[in-house]
Chain A
Amino acid sequence: MPTLHDDSLQRITEEMYKQNRELAVRNKTLNVIQTISTVANQSFHPAEVGQLIVNTLVGELHATLSMIAIVHPSAERVECLAMAQLPEIIRVQKELHKNFQDFRISLHAEKNSLANAVTSRQRYVTDQLSDIFEPWSEPSETELIQQVCNVTSTFVLPLTANSPAGVLVVGFDRKENDLSAWEEETLEQVLGVIDVSLNKAFLLEDLRQANVQLKEMDSLKDEFLAVASHELRTPMTAIKGYIHLLLKKKDQLSPDMEEKLSRIAVSSERMLALVGEMLDVSRIAAGRIIVENEAVDVSALVREVGEELRIQADEKGIRLEIDSANNCVVHGDKNRLHEVVLNIIDNGIKYTPNGGRVSVSVCQQQEYIAIIVADTGVGIAEKDVPKLFTKFGRFSVGTDAKVQASGSGLGLYICHKLVELMKGKITVKSTFGKGSIFTVTLPVWKG
Chain B
Amino acid sequence: MNGGIQRILLIEDDLYTRDLYKESLESGGFSVETAVDGLDGLDKIETGGYGLIVLDAMLPKIDGLTLLGKVKDITPKQPNGPILLFTNLVRNAILPQAIASGAADVLVKAEVNPDQLVEKARELIK
| Residues of A bordering B, CB below 8 Å | 230, 233-238, 240-242, 244-245, 272, 275-276, 279, 283, 288-292, 335
Contact = CB atoms under 8 A, between A and B. Distances in A.
A288 B24 contact: no
Contacts of B17: 234, 237-238, 241
A279 B111 CA distance: 14
B16 A276 contact: no
Contacts of B14: 234, 238
A240 B89 CA distance: 17
Interface string B92-123: 11000000000000000110011100000000
A283 B58 CA distance: 18
B20 A245 contact: yes
A234 B88 contact: yes
Interface string B1-27: 000000000000010110011011000
A233 to B, nearest CB: 4
B12 to A, nearest CB: 10
Given A234-B14, A234-B17, A235-B16, A241 B90 contact: no
A292 B91 CA distance: 12
A288 B89 CA distance: 13
A271 to B, nearest CB: 10
Given A242-B16, A288-B93, 6 more contacts: A230-B89, A237-B110, A244-B114, A245-B20, A245-B24, A290-B93
Contacts of A233: 88, 109-110
A283 B88 contact: no
Contacts of A288: 93
B53 to A, nearest CB: 19
Contact of A244 (B16, B58, B110, B113): B113
A279 B16 CA distance: 23
A227 to B, nearest CB: 10
Nearest to A283: B90
Main secondary structure on A side of the interface with B: helix
Instruction: Specify which of A230, A288, A291, A335 lies most central, judged by the most chain B CB atoms within 10 Å of its CB.
Output: A230
Nearest to A269: B110
A240 B16 CA distance: 12
A235 B15 CA distance: 10
A245 B114 contact: yes
* For the complex of A and B, 3 pairs with smallest distance between CB atoms: A233-B88, A238-B16, A237-B109
Contacts of B90: 279, 283
Given A233-B88, A288-B93, A272 B115 contact: no
Nearest to B92: A290
A120 B10 CA distance: 76
A238 B14 CA distance: 9
Contacts of A230: 58, 88-89
Contacts of B110: 233, 236-237, 240, 272, 275-276
A241 B24 contact: yes
A41 B37 CA distance: 60
A296 to B, nearest CB: 15
B77 to A, nearest CB: 32
B92 A242 contact: no
Contacts of B23: 245
A289 B93 CA distance: 8
Nearest to B109: A237
Contacts of A235: 16
B68 to A, nearest CB: 19
Contact of A241 (B89, B92, B93, B114): B114
A279 B110 CA distance: 12
